[in-house]
Amino acid sequence: MHMMGAIDDEDKLDADEAKKVLRRAGRMALPFKRTIAGALAFTALSTLGIVLGPVILRWGIDHGIEPGDKEVLRNAVLVCVGLTLMAYLSARQQFILINKAGEGFLRALRVRVFDHIQKQSLAFFDRNKSGVLVARMTADIESMGELVQWGLLQFVSAILLVIFALVLAFAMSWQLTLAGLLVMPVIIVASRKFQRDSNAAYLDVREQIGQTLSSLQEGIAGVRVIQAYGREPEQRRRFKRANRDLYDSHIHSVKVSTWYFGLVESAGVFATAIIVGVGGWLFTRGDVTIGTIIAVVLLFAQLFEPVQQLSQLYNSVQSSAASLNKLFGILDTVPDIEDGEHELPPAGELTVEGVGFRYPETEAAVLSDVSITVADGERLALVGPTGAGKSTLAKLMARLYDPTEGTISFGGVDLRDATIASLRQRVVVVPQEGFLFGGTVADNVRVARAEATDDDIREAFRAIGALERFGEFPEGIHTEVRERGSRLSAGERQLVSLARAALVDPAVLVLDEATSNLDPGTEFIVERALDSLMSGRTTIVVAHRLSTIQRADRIGVIDGGRLAELGNHAELVEHGGRYAALADAWQKSQPVAGN
Protein backbone atom coordinates (compact mmCIF):
# COMPACT_ATOMS: atom_id res chain seq x y z
CA MET A 1 0.00 0.00 0.00
CA HIS A 2 1.32 3.42 -0.92
CA MET A 3 0.84 6.12 1.61
CA MET A 4 1.55 9.78 1.08
CA GLY A 5 2.45 9.19 -2.55
CA ALA A 6 5.48 7.17 -1.54
CA ILE A 7 8.18 7.40 -4.16
CA ASP A 8 9.33 4.15 -5.63
CA ASP A 9 11.41 3.12 -8.58
CA GLU A 10 8.68 3.41 -11.15
CA ASP A 11 8.34 7.03 -10.10
CA LYS A 12 11.76 7.78 -11.49
CA LEU A 13 11.88 9.40 -14.87
CA ASP A 14 14.70 9.17 -17.31
CA ALA A 15 16.50 12.36 -18.23
CA ASP A 16 14.47 12.99 -21.39
CA GLU A 17 11.14 12.54 -19.69
CA ALA A 18 12.25 14.74 -16.82
CA LYS A 19 13.30 17.46 -19.26
CA LYS A 20 9.98 17.31 -21.06
CA VAL A 21 8.06 17.56 -17.80
CA LEU A 22 10.14 20.47 -16.57
CA ARG A 23 9.78 22.28 -19.88
CA ARG A 24 6.01 21.94 -19.63
CA ALA A 25 6.15 23.27 -16.07
CA GLY A 26 8.22 26.13 -17.38
CA ARG A 27 5.48 27.01 -19.86
CA MET A 28 2.92 26.94 -17.07
CA ALA A 29 5.11 29.30 -15.08
CA LEU A 30 5.14 31.89 -17.90
CA PRO A 31 2.54 34.15 -16.26
CA PHE A 32 5.00 34.59 -13.41
CA LYS A 33 7.96 35.44 -15.60
CA ARG A 34 8.34 39.02 -14.37
CA THR A 35 8.33 38.00 -10.74
CA ILE A 36 10.83 35.24 -11.46
CA ALA A 37 13.05 37.63 -13.43
CA GLY A 38 12.95 40.01 -10.46
CA ALA A 39 13.91 37.20 -8.10
CA LEU A 40 16.81 36.25 -10.35
CA ALA A 41 18.05 39.83 -10.52
CA PHE A 42 18.05 40.02 -6.73
CA THR A 43 19.81 36.68 -6.58
CA ALA A 44 22.57 38.03 -8.78
CA LEU A 45 22.81 41.14 -6.63
CA SER A 46 23.08 39.23 -3.37
CA THR A 47 25.64 36.82 -4.81
CA LEU A 48 27.67 39.75 -6.01
CA GLY A 49 27.52 41.25 -2.53
CA ILE A 50 28.83 38.03 -1.05
CA VAL A 51 31.77 37.51 -3.39
CA LEU A 52 32.87 41.15 -3.54
CA GLY A 53 33.47 41.18 0.22
CA PRO A 54 36.82 39.32 0.02
CA VAL A 55 37.96 41.57 -2.84
CA ILE A 56 37.36 44.68 -0.76
CA LEU A 57 39.11 43.08 2.21
CA ARG A 58 42.10 42.40 0.02
CA TRP A 59 42.21 46.06 -0.88
CA GLY A 60 41.87 47.00 2.80
CA ILE A 61 44.73 44.71 3.80
CA ASP A 62 47.12 45.54 0.98
CA HIS A 63 46.49 49.28 0.83
CA GLY A 64 45.22 49.96 4.33
CA ILE A 65 46.84 47.71 6.92
CA GLU A 66 50.22 47.20 5.29
CA PRO A 67 51.07 50.82 4.45
CA GLY A 68 49.21 51.88 7.63
CA ASP A 69 46.64 53.97 5.75
CA LYS A 70 43.78 54.32 8.20
CA GLU A 71 41.47 56.01 5.72
CA VAL A 72 41.68 53.18 3.18
CA LEU A 73 41.11 50.66 5.98
CA ARG A 74 38.06 52.53 7.23
CA ASN A 75 36.62 52.80 3.72
CA ALA A 76 37.25 49.09 3.12
CA VAL A 77 35.38 48.18 6.29
CA LEU A 78 32.50 50.54 5.41
CA VAL A 79 32.20 49.17 1.88
CA CYS A 80 32.27 45.63 3.27
CA VAL A 81 29.45 46.41 5.65
CA GLY A 82 27.54 48.09 2.83
CA LEU A 83 27.98 45.08 0.57
CA THR A 84 26.84 42.70 3.28
CA LEU A 85 23.78 44.84 3.87
CA MET A 86 23.00 44.85 0.16
CA ALA A 87 23.45 41.08 0.01
CA TYR A 88 21.12 40.65 2.96
CA LEU A 89 18.39 42.91 1.60
CA SER A 90 18.56 41.41 -1.89
CA ALA A 91 18.42 37.91 -0.48
CA ARG A 92 15.28 38.83 1.41
CA GLN A 93 13.72 40.37 -1.67
CA GLN A 94 14.59 37.40 -3.85
CA PHE A 95 13.10 35.09 -1.26
CA ILE A 96 9.81 36.97 -1.15
CA LEU A 97 9.57 37.20 -4.93
CA ILE A 98 10.35 33.58 -5.61
CA ASN A 99 7.81 32.50 -3.01
CA LYS A 100 5.19 34.70 -4.64
CA ALA A 101 5.89 33.12 -7.99
CA GLY A 102 6.14 29.61 -6.53
CA GLU A 103 3.00 29.76 -4.41
CA GLY A 104 1.13 31.45 -7.26
CA PHE A 105 2.18 28.67 -9.59
CA LEU A 106 1.11 25.99 -7.13
CA ARG A 107 -2.18 27.72 -6.47
CA ALA A 108 -2.95 27.82 -10.18
CA LEU A 109 -1.90 24.21 -10.56
CA ARG A 110 -4.03 23.05 -7.62
CA VAL A 111 -7.10 24.77 -9.05
CA ARG A 112 -6.47 23.28 -12.48
CA VAL A 113 -6.07 19.76 -11.17
CA PHE A 114 -9.08 20.11 -8.89
CA ASP A 115 -11.28 21.46 -11.70
CA HIS A 116 -10.14 18.67 -13.90
CA ILE A 117 -10.89 16.01 -11.31
CA GLN A 118 -14.37 17.43 -10.78
CA LYS A 119 -15.15 17.03 -14.47
CA GLN A 120 -14.26 13.35 -14.59
CA SER A 121 -16.79 10.55 -14.89
CA LEU A 122 -17.24 7.77 -12.36
CA ALA A 123 -15.00 5.58 -14.50
CA PHE A 124 -12.10 7.90 -13.67
CA PHE A 125 -12.72 7.42 -9.97
CA ASP A 126 -12.78 3.65 -10.45
CA ARG A 127 -9.28 3.91 -11.89
CA ASN A 128 -7.96 6.45 -9.40
CA LYS A 129 -8.65 5.81 -5.75
CA SER A 130 -9.47 8.89 -3.70
CA GLY A 131 -6.49 8.39 -1.39
CA VAL A 132 -4.17 8.53 -4.35
CA LEU A 133 -5.86 11.65 -5.71
CA VAL A 134 -5.51 13.32 -2.33
CA ALA A 135 -1.83 12.39 -2.31
CA ARG A 136 -1.50 14.00 -5.75
CA MET A 137 -3.06 17.21 -4.51
CA THR A 138 -1.01 17.33 -1.31
CA ALA A 139 2.27 15.40 -1.18
CA ASP A 140 3.05 15.75 -4.87
CA ILE A 141 2.24 19.42 -5.06
CA GLU A 142 4.23 19.93 -1.87
CA SER A 143 7.26 18.19 -3.29
CA MET A 144 7.05 20.42 -6.33
CA GLY A 145 6.71 23.42 -4.12
CA GLU A 146 10.11 22.63 -2.72
CA LEU A 147 11.56 22.51 -6.19
CA VAL A 148 9.88 25.66 -7.38
CA GLN A 149 10.90 27.65 -4.35
CA TRP A 150 14.23 26.20 -3.39
CA GLY A 151 15.46 24.33 -6.41
CA LEU A 152 15.37 27.13 -8.90
CA LEU A 153 16.82 29.65 -6.53
CA GLN A 154 19.49 27.39 -5.13
CA PHE A 155 20.47 26.35 -8.56
CA VAL A 156 20.84 29.88 -9.84
CA SER A 157 22.57 31.21 -6.75
CA ALA A 158 24.88 28.21 -6.46
CA ILE A 159 25.91 28.47 -10.12
CA LEU A 160 26.34 32.23 -9.89
CA LEU A 161 28.36 31.93 -6.71
CA VAL A 162 30.68 29.33 -8.20
CA ILE A 163 31.20 31.36 -11.37
CA PHE A 164 31.66 34.73 -9.67
CA ALA A 165 33.99 33.31 -7.03
CA LEU A 166 36.16 31.46 -9.53
CA VAL A 167 36.38 34.39 -11.95
CA LEU A 168 37.38 36.75 -9.16
CA ALA A 169 39.87 34.31 -7.70
CA PHE A 170 41.43 33.74 -11.12
CA ALA A 171 41.64 37.46 -11.72
CA MET A 172 43.48 37.96 -8.43
CA SER A 173 45.84 35.01 -8.76
CA TRP A 174 45.52 32.18 -11.20
CA GLN A 175 48.27 30.20 -9.45
CA LEU A 176 46.49 30.26 -6.09
CA THR A 177 43.17 29.40 -7.72
CA LEU A 178 44.62 26.39 -9.49
CA ALA A 179 46.24 25.29 -6.23
CA GLY A 180 42.88 25.54 -4.45
CA LEU A 181 41.16 23.63 -7.22
CA LEU A 182 43.46 20.64 -6.65
CA VAL A 183 40.87 19.22 -4.24
CA MET A 184 38.07 19.52 -6.83
CA PRO A 185 38.43 16.07 -8.45
CA VAL A 186 37.92 14.48 -5.03
CA ILE A 187 34.80 16.56 -4.45
CA ILE A 188 33.37 15.81 -7.88
CA VAL A 189 33.84 12.07 -7.49
CA ALA A 190 32.43 12.18 -3.97
CA SER A 191 29.44 14.25 -5.10
CA ARG A 192 28.52 11.80 -7.80
CA LYS A 193 28.68 8.93 -5.38
CA PHE A 194 26.71 10.90 -2.83
CA GLN A 195 24.04 11.69 -5.38
CA ARG A 196 23.45 8.02 -6.07
CA ASP A 197 23.71 6.83 -2.47
CA SER A 198 21.58 9.56 -1.00
CA ASN A 199 18.90 9.07 -3.63
CA ALA A 200 18.75 5.37 -2.82
CA ALA A 201 18.73 6.12 0.90
CA TYR A 202 15.97 8.69 0.45
CA LEU A 203 13.80 6.29 -1.52
CA ASP A 204 14.40 3.66 1.13
CA VAL A 205 13.35 6.00 3.93
CA ARG A 206 10.19 6.97 2.02
CA GLU A 207 9.37 3.32 1.46
CA GLN A 208 9.90 2.48 5.14
CA ILE A 209 7.76 5.44 6.21
CA GLY A 210 5.00 4.06 3.99
CA GLN A 211 5.36 0.61 5.54
CA THR A 212 5.31 1.95 9.08
CA LEU A 213 2.31 4.14 8.39
CA SER A 214 0.33 1.37 6.80
CA SER A 215 1.14 -0.97 9.67
CA LEU A 216 0.11 1.76 12.10
CA GLN A 217 -3.08 2.48 10.19
CA GLU A 218 -4.02 -1.18 10.09
CA GLY A 219 -3.36 -1.49 13.79
CA ILE A 220 -5.70 1.40 14.54
CA ALA A 221 -8.42 0.81 11.97
CA GLY A 222 -8.49 -2.93 12.61
CA VAL A 223 -8.14 -2.76 16.37
CA ARG A 224 -11.53 -4.38 17.02
CA VAL A 225 -10.75 -7.43 14.94
CA ILE A 226 -7.23 -7.58 16.34
CA GLN A 227 -8.50 -7.53 19.92
CA ALA A 228 -11.37 -9.89 19.25
CA TYR A 229 -8.97 -12.54 18.01
CA GLY A 230 -6.10 -11.75 20.36
CA ARG A 231 -3.77 -10.74 17.53
CA GLU A 232 -2.03 -7.97 19.48
CA PRO A 233 1.35 -9.72 19.83
CA GLU A 234 1.52 -10.40 16.10
CA GLN A 235 0.56 -6.80 15.29
CA ARG A 236 3.12 -5.54 17.77
CA ARG A 237 5.78 -7.70 16.15
CA ARG A 238 4.88 -6.41 12.70
CA PHE A 239 4.86 -2.81 13.81
CA LYS A 240 8.15 -3.23 15.64
CA ARG A 241 9.71 -4.76 12.55
CA ALA A 242 8.53 -1.92 10.30
CA ASN A 243 9.65 0.60 12.87
CA ARG A 244 13.05 -1.04 13.21
CA ASP A 245 13.51 -0.96 9.43
CA LEU A 246 12.59 2.69 9.38
CA TYR A 247 15.16 3.35 12.10
CA ASP A 248 17.81 1.46 10.17
CA SER A 249 17.18 3.27 6.93
CA HIS A 250 17.23 6.65 8.70
CA ILE A 251 20.56 5.82 10.31
CA HIS A 252 21.86 4.64 6.97
CA SER A 253 20.83 7.88 5.29
CA VAL A 254 22.48 9.89 8.07
CA LYS A 255 25.68 7.92 7.56
CA VAL A 256 25.57 8.57 3.83
CA SER A 257 25.20 12.31 4.42
CA THR A 258 27.81 12.61 7.14
CA TRP A 259 30.66 11.05 5.26
CA TYR A 260 29.93 13.28 2.32
CA PHE A 261 29.48 16.52 4.21
CA GLY A 262 32.44 15.69 6.40
CA LEU A 263 34.52 15.01 3.33
CA VAL A 264 33.53 18.25 1.63
CA GLU A 265 34.31 20.18 4.80
CA SER A 266 37.70 18.52 5.16
CA ALA A 267 38.39 19.23 1.50
CA GLY A 268 37.65 22.86 2.25
CA VAL A 269 40.16 22.92 5.09
CA PHE A 270 42.63 21.13 2.87
CA ALA A 271 42.15 23.68 0.09
CA THR A 272 42.74 26.47 2.60
CA ALA A 273 45.94 24.82 3.74
CA ILE A 274 47.16 24.44 0.17
CA ILE A 275 46.30 28.05 -0.70
CA VAL A 276 48.04 29.36 2.42
CA GLY A 277 51.08 27.14 1.80
CA VAL A 278 51.43 27.91 -1.89
CA GLY A 279 50.48 31.53 -1.18
CA GLY A 280 53.29 31.85 1.39
CA TRP A 281 55.76 30.58 -1.13
CA LEU A 282 54.46 32.93 -3.86
CA PHE A 283 54.49 35.80 -1.34
CA THR A 284 58.17 35.31 -0.58
CA ARG A 285 58.82 35.46 -4.33
CA GLY A 286 56.79 38.66 -4.46
CA ASP A 287 54.11 37.21 -6.79
CA VAL A 288 51.09 37.75 -4.53
CA THR A 289 50.15 39.99 -1.62
CA ILE A 290 48.86 38.89 1.80
CA GLY A 291 45.54 40.46 0.90
CA THR A 292 45.27 38.25 -2.19
CA ILE A 293 45.95 35.10 -0.17
CA ILE A 294 43.26 35.96 2.36
CA ALA A 295 40.78 36.94 -0.35
CA VAL A 296 41.28 33.67 -2.24
CA VAL A 297 40.93 31.67 0.99
CA LEU A 298 37.65 33.46 1.73
CA LEU A 299 36.33 32.95 -1.80
CA PHE A 300 37.12 29.26 -1.65
CA ALA A 301 35.38 28.98 1.68
CA GLN A 302 32.23 30.18 -0.07
CA LEU A 303 32.64 27.74 -2.90
CA PHE A 304 31.99 24.51 -1.07
CA GLU A 305 28.49 25.14 0.15
CA PRO A 306 27.03 25.69 -3.32
CA VAL A 307 28.77 22.56 -4.53
CA GLN A 308 27.03 20.60 -1.76
CA GLN A 309 23.71 22.19 -2.64
CA LEU A 310 24.06 21.38 -6.30
CA SER A 311 24.65 17.73 -5.53
CA GLN A 312 21.45 17.56 -3.46
CA LEU A 313 19.49 19.54 -5.97
CA TYR A 314 19.65 16.76 -8.53
CA ASN A 315 17.62 14.45 -6.30
CA SER A 316 15.04 17.04 -5.53
CA VAL A 317 14.63 17.85 -9.23
CA GLN A 318 14.19 14.14 -9.89
CA SER A 319 11.45 13.65 -7.34
CA SER A 320 9.66 16.87 -8.29
CA ALA A 321 9.72 15.94 -11.94
CA ALA A 322 8.17 12.60 -10.99
CA SER A 323 5.44 14.37 -9.01
CA LEU A 324 4.77 16.79 -11.82
CA ASN A 325 4.56 13.95 -14.25
CA LYS A 326 1.83 12.31 -12.18
CA LEU A 327 -0.11 15.57 -11.97
CA PHE A 328 0.18 16.07 -15.71
CA GLY A 329 -1.12 12.53 -16.05
CA ILE A 330 -4.30 13.69 -14.33
CA LEU A 331 -4.49 16.89 -16.37
CA ASP A 332 -4.15 14.90 -19.59
CA THR A 333 -7.07 12.60 -18.81
CA VAL A 334 -9.83 13.51 -21.21
CA PRO A 335 -13.21 13.36 -19.45
CA ASP A 336 -14.88 10.31 -20.97
CA ILE A 337 -18.41 11.59 -20.52
CA GLU A 338 -18.64 14.22 -23.23
CA ASP A 339 -21.23 16.90 -23.65
CA GLY A 340 -23.70 16.31 -26.46
CA GLU A 341 -25.70 18.86 -28.46
CA HIS A 342 -29.32 17.88 -28.08
CA GLU A 343 -31.72 18.92 -25.33
CA LEU A 344 -33.62 16.04 -23.79
CA PRO A 345 -37.40 16.44 -24.15
CA PRO A 346 -39.44 17.05 -20.96
CA ALA A 347 -41.01 13.60 -21.18
CA GLY A 348 -40.68 10.37 -23.08
CA GLU A 349 -39.81 6.71 -23.03
CA LEU A 350 -36.54 5.50 -21.57
CA THR A 351 -35.19 2.87 -23.91
CA VAL A 352 -32.38 0.44 -23.19
CA GLU A 353 -31.32 -1.38 -26.33
CA GLY A 354 -28.89 -4.28 -26.50
CA VAL A 355 -26.78 -2.82 -23.72
CA GLY A 356 -23.55 -4.45 -22.62
CA PHE A 357 -21.09 -3.02 -20.16
CA ARG A 358 -17.74 -3.72 -18.59
CA TYR A 359 -16.01 -1.55 -16.00
CA PRO A 360 -12.77 0.09 -17.09
CA GLU A 361 -9.79 -2.16 -16.48
CA THR A 362 -11.83 -5.22 -15.67
CA GLU A 363 -12.18 -8.21 -17.96
CA ALA A 364 -15.63 -9.64 -17.42
CA ALA A 365 -18.76 -8.03 -18.81
CA VAL A 366 -21.04 -6.91 -15.98
CA LEU A 367 -24.05 -6.54 -18.27
CA SER A 368 -24.79 -8.15 -21.59
CA ASP A 369 -27.55 -7.66 -24.10
CA VAL A 370 -30.06 -5.93 -21.85
CA SER A 371 -33.10 -4.38 -23.55
CA ILE A 372 -35.99 -2.73 -21.70
CA THR A 373 -38.37 0.07 -22.62
CA VAL A 374 -39.69 2.01 -19.65
CA ALA A 375 -42.87 3.93 -20.52
CA ASP A 376 -43.36 7.55 -19.51
CA GLY A 377 -44.42 7.55 -15.85
CA GLU A 378 -43.83 3.84 -15.33
CA ARG A 379 -42.22 2.40 -12.21
CA LEU A 380 -39.69 -0.31 -12.88
CA ALA A 381 -38.14 -2.26 -10.03
CA LEU A 382 -34.84 -4.05 -10.61
CA VAL A 383 -34.30 -7.10 -8.44
CA GLY A 384 -31.81 -9.94 -8.36
CA PRO A 385 -28.93 -11.35 -6.39
CA THR A 386 -26.05 -9.19 -5.14
CA GLY A 387 -23.51 -8.47 -7.85
CA ALA A 388 -25.98 -9.24 -10.65
CA GLY A 389 -25.54 -5.78 -12.16
CA LYS A 390 -28.67 -3.93 -11.00
CA SER A 391 -26.87 -0.83 -9.73
CA THR A 392 -24.70 -0.79 -12.80
CA LEU A 393 -27.74 -0.79 -15.07
CA ALA A 394 -29.26 2.02 -13.00
CA LYS A 395 -26.05 4.05 -13.33
CA LEU A 396 -26.03 3.57 -17.10
CA MET A 397 -29.60 4.85 -17.30
CA ALA A 398 -28.46 8.11 -15.74
CA ARG A 399 -25.30 8.15 -17.88
CA LEU A 400 -22.90 7.99 -14.98
CA TYR A 401 -21.13 5.63 -17.36
CA ASP A 402 -21.59 5.08 -21.07
CA PRO A 403 -22.56 1.55 -22.15
CA THR A 404 -19.80 -0.32 -23.94
CA GLU A 405 -22.40 -1.82 -26.29
CA GLY A 406 -25.89 -0.77 -27.33
CA THR A 407 -27.66 2.51 -26.61
CA ILE A 408 -29.77 4.11 -23.95
CA SER A 409 -32.09 6.90 -25.02
CA PHE A 410 -34.74 9.13 -23.55
CA GLY A 411 -37.56 10.50 -25.67
CA GLY A 412 -35.72 9.26 -28.75
CA VAL A 413 -32.45 11.05 -27.95
CA ASP A 414 -29.39 8.91 -27.28
CA LEU A 415 -28.07 9.97 -23.87
CA ARG A 416 -24.62 10.35 -25.43
CA ASP A 417 -25.99 13.07 -27.71
CA ALA A 418 -27.74 14.96 -24.93
CA THR A 419 -26.29 18.02 -23.25
CA ILE A 420 -25.05 17.22 -19.77
CA ALA A 421 -27.14 20.10 -18.41
CA SER A 422 -30.42 18.78 -19.82
CA LEU A 423 -29.49 15.25 -18.78
CA ARG A 424 -28.99 16.26 -15.14
CA GLN A 425 -32.26 18.20 -15.31
CA ARG A 426 -34.31 15.29 -16.70
CA VAL A 427 -32.70 12.32 -14.99
CA VAL A 428 -31.75 12.36 -11.32
CA VAL A 429 -30.01 9.60 -9.41
CA VAL A 430 -30.66 9.15 -5.72
CA PRO A 431 -27.82 7.02 -4.35
CA GLN A 432 -28.13 4.64 -1.41
CA GLU A 433 -26.25 6.99 0.82
CA GLY A 434 -26.44 10.60 -0.34
CA PHE A 435 -23.29 12.50 0.57
CA LEU A 436 -23.84 15.37 2.97
CA PHE A 437 -21.53 18.37 2.86
CA GLY A 438 -20.64 20.61 5.77
CA GLY A 439 -23.34 23.32 6.16
CA THR A 440 -27.04 23.49 6.92
CA VAL A 441 -29.83 21.18 5.81
CA ALA A 442 -30.93 23.87 3.35
CA ASP A 443 -27.40 24.17 1.91
CA ASN A 444 -27.37 20.46 1.38
CA VAL A 445 -30.64 20.43 -0.53
CA ARG A 446 -29.48 23.44 -2.54
CA VAL A 447 -26.69 21.28 -3.91
CA ALA A 448 -29.26 20.16 -6.45
CA ARG A 449 -30.03 23.69 -7.65
CA ALA A 450 -27.75 26.47 -6.55
CA GLU A 451 -30.22 29.32 -7.06
CA ALA A 452 -33.08 27.75 -5.06
CA THR A 453 -34.55 30.02 -2.37
CA ASP A 454 -35.40 28.88 1.16
CA ASP A 455 -39.04 28.75 0.07
CA ASP A 456 -38.16 26.46 -2.84
CA ILE A 457 -36.39 24.20 -0.37
CA ARG A 458 -39.32 24.16 2.04
CA GLU A 459 -41.55 23.41 -0.96
CA ALA A 460 -39.30 20.46 -1.90
CA PHE A 461 -39.57 19.09 1.64
CA ARG A 462 -43.32 19.66 1.59
CA ALA A 463 -43.63 17.83 -1.73
CA ILE A 464 -42.20 14.73 -0.15
CA GLY A 465 -44.12 15.22 3.11
CA ALA A 466 -41.02 15.76 5.22
CA LEU A 467 -41.25 19.42 6.11
CA GLU A 468 -42.61 18.81 9.61
CA ARG A 469 -39.70 16.53 10.39
CA PHE A 470 -37.21 19.36 9.89
CA GLY A 471 -39.62 21.96 11.23
CA GLU A 472 -39.27 20.26 14.62
CA PHE A 473 -35.61 21.27 14.82
CA PRO A 474 -35.12 24.57 16.68
CA GLU A 475 -33.32 25.99 13.66
CA GLY A 476 -35.50 24.25 11.08
CA ILE A 477 -33.93 23.80 7.68
CA HIS A 478 -31.04 25.98 8.85
CA THR A 479 -29.78 23.30 11.20
CA GLU A 480 -26.10 22.51 10.75
CA VAL A 481 -25.67 18.90 9.63
CA ARG A 482 -22.09 18.67 10.98
CA GLU A 483 -19.49 16.49 9.37
CA ARG A 484 -21.12 14.18 6.83
CA GLY A 485 -24.47 14.77 8.46
CA SER A 486 -23.57 13.25 11.84
CA ARG A 487 -26.18 15.53 13.44
CA LEU A 488 -28.95 13.81 11.41
CA SER A 489 -30.34 10.31 11.72
CA ALA A 490 -29.98 7.84 8.85
CA GLY A 491 -33.60 8.44 7.83
CA GLU A 492 -33.21 12.21 7.90
CA ARG A 493 -30.16 11.96 5.71
CA GLN A 494 -32.24 10.00 3.21
CA LEU A 495 -34.93 12.65 3.35
CA VAL A 496 -32.34 15.30 2.46
CA SER A 497 -31.31 13.14 -0.51
CA LEU A 498 -34.90 12.84 -1.65
CA ALA A 499 -35.53 16.56 -1.19
CA ARG A 500 -32.61 17.23 -3.52
CA ALA A 501 -34.32 15.15 -6.19
CA ALA A 502 -37.67 16.87 -5.52
CA LEU A 503 -36.00 20.25 -5.98
CA VAL A 504 -34.81 19.32 -9.47
CA ASP A 505 -38.23 17.84 -10.33
CA PRO A 506 -36.87 15.48 -13.00
CA ALA A 507 -38.78 13.35 -15.51
CA VAL A 508 -36.84 10.22 -14.61
CA LEU A 509 -35.82 9.14 -11.16
CA VAL A 510 -33.16 6.50 -10.67
CA LEU A 511 -33.14 5.20 -7.14
CA ASP A 512 -30.77 2.87 -5.40
CA GLU A 513 -32.86 1.90 -2.43
CA ALA A 514 -31.05 1.96 0.90
CA THR A 515 -30.61 -1.50 2.38
CA SER A 516 -30.31 -0.33 5.97
CA ASN A 517 -33.36 -0.69 8.16
CA LEU A 518 -34.71 2.39 9.83
CA ASP A 519 -36.81 2.69 12.94
CA PRO A 520 -40.49 2.16 12.04
CA GLY A 521 -41.53 5.81 12.49
CA THR A 522 -38.81 7.15 10.22
CA GLU A 523 -39.24 4.26 7.83
CA PHE A 524 -42.81 5.35 7.32
CA ILE A 525 -41.86 8.96 6.56
CA VAL A 526 -39.11 7.87 4.15
CA GLU A 527 -41.45 5.47 2.34
CA ARG A 528 -44.12 8.12 2.04
CA ALA A 529 -41.51 10.56 0.74
CA LEU A 530 -40.38 8.02 -1.82
CA ASP A 531 -43.97 7.45 -2.90
CA SER A 532 -44.68 11.13 -3.45
CA LEU A 533 -41.38 11.56 -5.26
CA MET A 534 -42.13 8.67 -7.61
CA SER A 535 -45.68 9.62 -8.43
CA GLY A 536 -46.05 10.94 -11.96
CA ARG A 537 -42.42 10.20 -12.81
CA THR A 538 -40.66 7.45 -14.66
CA THR A 539 -38.85 5.61 -11.90
CA ILE A 540 -36.20 2.94 -11.99
CA VAL A 541 -35.55 1.59 -8.54
CA VAL A 542 -32.95 -0.95 -7.47
CA ALA A 543 -35.26 -2.49 -4.95
CA HIS A 544 -34.42 -4.25 -1.72
CA ARG A 545 -37.81 -4.13 -0.01
CA LEU A 546 -40.80 -6.20 -0.89
CA SER A 547 -43.11 -3.21 -0.36
CA THR A 548 -41.26 -1.23 -3.02
CA ILE A 549 -41.32 -4.15 -5.41
CA GLN A 550 -45.01 -4.73 -4.98
CA ARG A 551 -45.77 -1.11 -5.78
CA ALA A 552 -43.82 -1.25 -9.05
CA ASP A 553 -45.64 -1.46 -12.38
CA ARG A 554 -43.12 -3.94 -13.70
CA ILE A 555 -40.25 -5.90 -12.27
CA GLY A 556 -37.02 -6.73 -14.08
CA VAL A 557 -35.03 -9.62 -12.68
CA ILE A 558 -31.33 -9.21 -13.36
CA ASP A 559 -29.20 -12.28 -13.05
CA GLY A 560 -25.57 -12.64 -14.09
CA GLY A 561 -25.72 -9.38 -16.05
CA ARG A 562 -28.76 -10.39 -18.11
CA LEU A 563 -32.39 -9.45 -17.96
CA ALA A 564 -33.77 -12.82 -16.90
CA GLU A 565 -37.45 -11.98 -16.38
CA LEU A 566 -39.67 -8.97 -16.93
CA GLY A 567 -43.29 -8.48 -15.92
CA ASN A 568 -45.53 -7.42 -13.04
CA HIS A 569 -45.64 -9.16 -9.68
CA ALA A 570 -48.61 -11.37 -10.50
CA GLU A 571 -47.27 -12.37 -13.90
CA LEU A 572 -43.87 -13.29 -12.57
CA VAL A 573 -45.25 -15.27 -9.66
CA GLU A 574 -47.47 -17.04 -12.12
CA HIS A 575 -44.46 -17.67 -14.38
CA GLY A 576 -42.88 -19.63 -11.51
CA GLY A 577 -39.27 -18.66 -12.31
CA ARG A 578 -36.58 -16.91 -10.34
CA TYR A 579 -38.81 -14.06 -9.21
CA ALA A 580 -41.39 -16.48 -7.89
CA ALA A 581 -38.70 -18.18 -5.83
CA LEU A 582 -37.38 -14.84 -4.56
CA ALA A 583 -40.86 -13.59 -3.67
CA ASP A 584 -41.52 -16.80 -1.83
CA ALA A 585 -38.31 -16.45 0.18
CA TRP A 586 -39.10 -12.81 0.95
CA GLN A 587 -42.56 -13.65 2.16
CA LYS A 588 -41.00 -15.95 4.70
CA SER A 589 -38.21 -13.66 5.82
CA GLN A 590 -39.92 -10.29 6.19
CA PRO A 591 -38.95 -7.59 6.86
CA VAL A 592 -35.35 -8.20 5.75
CA ALA A 593 -35.92 -8.30 2.05
CA GLY A 594 -33.63 -8.90 -0.85
CA ASN A 595 -29.89 -9.10 -1.17
Residues 6 or more apart whose Cβ sits within 8 Å of residue 431 = 497, 512
**Amino acid letter, 63:** H
CA-to-CA distance for 371 and 365, rounded, in angstroms? 16
Beta pairing partners, 350: 374, 410
State in angstroms the smallest separation of the CB of 393 from ligand ADP. Answer: 7
Nearest to ligand ADP of 36, 396 (CB atom):
396
Query: What gap in Å lies between CA 530 and CA 499, rounded to an integer?
Result: 10
Contacts of the segment 52-57: beta carbons below 8 A, 24+ positions apart: 52/83, 52/168, 53/80, 53/83, 53/84, 53/298, 54/168, 54/294, 54/295, 54/296, 54/298, 54/299, 55/168, 55/172, 55/295, 56/80, 56/83, 57/291, 57/294, 57/295, 57/298
If the CB atoms of residues 364 and 570 are measured against ligand ADP, the closer one turns out to be: 364
Nearer to ligand ADP, 160 or 388 (CB): 388
Q: How far is the CB of 350 from ligand ADP (least distance, A)?
A: 18
Indicate the residue among 256 and 337 with the shorter CB distance to ligand ADP: 337
Residue with smaller CB distance to ligand ADP, 363 or 451: 363
CB of 511 to ligand ADP, least distance (A): 12
In the chain, count of helices (H) and strands (E)? 22, 10
300-to-94, 257, 570 alpha-carbon distances in Å: 24, 22, 95
Q: Specify the residue, 340 or 389, whose C-beta has the smaller distance to ligand ADP.
A: 389
- Please check whether residue 43 is in contact with residue 160, taking contact to mean a CB–CB distance below 8 angstroms: yes
Asked if residues 373 and 351 have their Cβ atoms less than 8 Å apart, the reply is yes
Nearest residue (CB) to ligand ADP, 104 versus 385? 385
The minimum distance between CB 126 and ligand ADP, in angstroms, equals 4
Q: Minimal distance in Å, beta carbon 125 to ligand ADP?
A: 8
To ligand ADP, the closest distance from the beta carbon of 512 in angstroms equals 8
Q: Are 172 and 292 in contact (CB under 8 A)?
A: yes
Contact residues for ligand ADP (CB under 6 A)?
126, 359, 362, 366, 384, 386-392, 542
Q: What does the alpha-carbon distance between residue 3 and residue 208 come to, in Å, rounded to a whole number?
A: 10
Tell me the closest approach of the beta carbon of residue 384 to ligand ADP, in angstroms.
6
Task: For residue 428, give the amino acid letter.
Answer: V
Based on CB atoms, which residue is closest to ligand ADP, 289 or 392? 392
Least Å from the CB of residue 383 to ligand ADP? 9
